[in-house]
Structure 1
Amino acid sequence: MSAKTGSKAVVIQGNQACVEGALLAGCSFFAGYPITPATEVAEVMAERMPKVGGVFVQMEDELASINAVVGAAWGGNKAMTATSGPGYSLMQEGIGYAAITETPCVIIDVMRGGPSTGQPTMTSQQDVYQAKYGSHGDYEPIVLVPSSAQEALDMTIRAFNLSEKYLVPVSVLTDEVVGHTRERVVIPDAPEVYNRVAPPAGEPYLPFKGIEALGGVPYRADFGQGYNICVDGQLHDERGMRVGHLIEPSAALVRRVMAKITDNADDIADYELYHTDDAEIIVCAYGSTSRVALRSVLDARKAGIKAGLIKLKTLFPFPDAMIRAVASKASRIIVPECNAGKICNEVQRVVRQDVESMPKLGGAMHIPSEILDAIKRS
């Protein structure tokens, strides 16, 4: 046992940590299709899920996987799938369906180099825009980005809690480095778990009516509980009946589904700040890249350079206010990421300075000296 009462310390991969987190959160259904570098999630789920009374199904492809997860969630399960870039692409229509039907579910995306089949065994952070804009139409997803095996466990638990609280699909974007790195992970005995809120007994129930006390989120009854519920991907009214041909109720639904996330962004957004109080140079990073960036910032501090780090743990909703406040005191902002420069654009959107993009492609990570050299450049 670890020093923390009711917990144990183990050495496991990030992919295994996602499984442990899911089980602790109450996941009882997993559907997926094996794909490198996410395969270990399915492998461990196949072993563990029957032992806890849950269901594991290997589907024929990723389209079937996400649709099985949606169906299982409406059947009363906490449901999850796992994939990598190409499979995540195939899931996007199903993720959009989950968004508009307000279906709680979790998608683990262990990112690899792309586009297309790309680099199955190499790392990247190239799916960050797909996580935000992958499905058509207007919706607001929640996207978490672990940087370690411990955070993979913690954020998978949080992903389930957020999905249940806001009735929304939540993506956890790890990458090949996080997924395959073995590290010490503390597994809590009984973490805080949130469950969807059932409608009050004996009261009329509208399955898609936002409840003010729940932050604009509806009550949620599952199939088989005696309610007549229509779940349709076409825009619908509070009863679930199609209104896609009507302007006002269609617009009202989309506005509410987006507002339940944007209006609660302060509750959802998560980040860590290192030495930003007096920082003149800010590095903003996420996922595995943030580990390298922290080392670079600490080395810069040792050299007498006032550098600081914003470590993003939630990409979407993006923490606009925090970024703006921290950046207001700095002269430079550097954003290293393992893609062509995507989150750099999000940072640039909310600050006054020109943001310095530091992209890395080809499947390799930054090394500390590269980011330190960028910090030292005047």
Structure 2
Amino acid sequence: VFVQFEDEIASMGAVVGASVAGRKALTATSGPGFTLKQENLGYAIMIQIPCVVINVQRGGPSTGLPTLPSQSDVMQARWGTHGDHPIIAVAPASVRECFDLTVRAFNLSEKYRIPVIVLSDAIIGHMREKIEIPAADEIEIINRKKPTVPPEEYKPFADDGTGIPPMANMGDGYLFHMTSNNYDDEGFPATNDHEIADYRLKQLHNKIDRYRDDIIDVEEYLAEDAELLVFAFGSTARSARGAVKEARKEGIKAGLFRPKTIWPFPDQELAHAVSRGVKHVICAEMNLSQLEGEVLKATRGQDVAVHGLHQNDGRLISPQQVLTKVKEVLNNG
């Protein structure tokens, strides 16, 4: 079912309401629209509502470059709404991955009761590729965990030992309260209870930290023996792959590390890849270094130099630009 709402604020609110009623719901936007969705996105995070938000990134700030690509909403995806909150974000790099990672976004959202953001960009959004869509019975579908207690015993935010509270559908015989305030296990406001505030915030984070290995997904290309690693995601990773392939032809031991999961950041996986003997990491992204800091933190303590390749003028970083940067880094030692 597709419903056109009057604006991005209303559409995000409708997604939250649909999910509370038991439907799997998503909303899609770019740039300023993603900004307008942040208030209700924060509400969904707080009350632990499964839903999916697709952001086809374009140049900004404000209206910016409305038809040209960018990857400058990475930190907005992580911290766009206020408060010390968790989030999951995935980044497709092909038409097929737009399909696969949207399915995965729904599965992660339902499994962990949290909104999931699909961070595409204008290149991927306008791309045409032939793909084979799997048969419906071949697609893994995960549904939210339902309560096993009768309605009178149900507490919508009580931990059952897994860290993920079971979620009843509103209107299926279960009546419960939800509020954007700090709340107790029954969903009622507890705005002056410091112990509950501490517990609730930790509950939101712990369910992501506890299952990070299930959530995080990365791809490595020719990285096993790499001495130089290119870190890139989305459409930029396509250019990086081409550059790495060409570098190998020229005898350069280059590799690609591509995070399919952007948030939580795959710091452990990147650190492991670097520990195999990587001396240089090039962080290639269509922004002014939003993930370079995360790469630096992940590789702290290792004998590796991190270099930035940043461009945010509406043009895709080309394979030749990446290859040129690879040679520049190696020539400068």
TM-score range, shorter chain: over 0.9
**Aligned position for 2:161:** 212
2:233 to 275, 282, 286: 286
- Shift, 1:138, TM fit: 1.1
1:70 to 1, 5, 16: 16
The letter for the 2-side match of 1:337 is E
1:129 to 52, 75, 81: 75
**Aligned position for 1:57:** 3
**Aligned position for 1:376:** 327
- Shift, 1:253, TM fit: 0.3
Measure the CA separation in 2 of the matches of 1:278 and 1:237. Answer: 51
Q: Secondary structure at the match of 1:95?
A: helix
| Superposition map of 1:3-22 within 5 A | none
* Segments ≥4 residues shifted beyond 4 Å: none
**Aligned position for 2:84:** 138
- Shift, 1:205, TM fit: 1.5
**Aligned position for 1:23:** none
Measure the CA separation in 2 of the matches of 1:271 and 1:210. Answer: 30
**Aligned position for 1:315:** 262
Runs of 5+ in structure 2 lacking a partner?
none
Measure the CA separation in 2 of the matches of 1:297 and 1:290. Answer: 10
| Superposition map of 1:180-191 within 5 A | 180-190=126-136, 191=139
**Aligned position for 2:288:** 340
**Aligned position for 2:142:** 194
Measure the CA separation in 2 of the matches of 1:239 and 1:370. Answer: 55
Given that 2:279 and 2:305 are in contact with CA atoms closer than 8 Å, whether structure 1 keeps it comes out as no
* TM-score of the pair, normalised by structure 1: 0.84
The letter for the 2-side match of 1:323 is L
Measure the CA separation in 1 of the matches of 2:41 and 2:150. Answer: 32
Measure the CA separation in 2 of the matches of 1:294 and 1:354. Answer: 20
Q: Secondary structure at the match of 2:40?
A: helix
Given that 2:34 and 2:55 are in contact with CA atoms closer than 8 Å, whether structure 1 keeps it comes out as yes
Measure the CA separation in 2 of the matches of 1:77 and 1:303. Answer: 52
Q: Secondary structure at the match of 1:231?
A: coil
Given that 1:138 and 1:258 are in contact with CA atoms closer than 8 Å, whether structure 2 keeps it comes out as no
Q: Percent identity?
A: 44
CA root-mean-square deviation: 1.0
1:140-162 Cα deviation digits (max 9, x unpaired): 10000000100000000001001
**Aligned position for 1:87:** 33
1:292-325 Cα deviation digits (max 9, x unpaired): 0000001111100111100110000111111111
User: How many residue pairs end up in the alignment?
Assistant: 322
**Aligned position for 1:254:** 201
The letter for the 1-side match of 2:243 is S
The letter for the 2-side match of 1:265 is R
**Aligned position for 2:171:** 224
Q: Secondary structure at the match of 1:232?
A: coil
**Aligned position for 1:114:** 60
Measure the CA separation in 2 of the matches of 1:292 and 1:168. Answer: 32
1:22-75 Cα deviation digits (max 9, x unpaired): xxxxxxxxxxxxxxxxxxxxxxxxxxxxxxxx3x22111111110010011001
Q: Secondary structure at the match of 1:357?
A: strand
Measure the CA separation in 1 of the matches of 2:183 and 2:131. Answer: 44
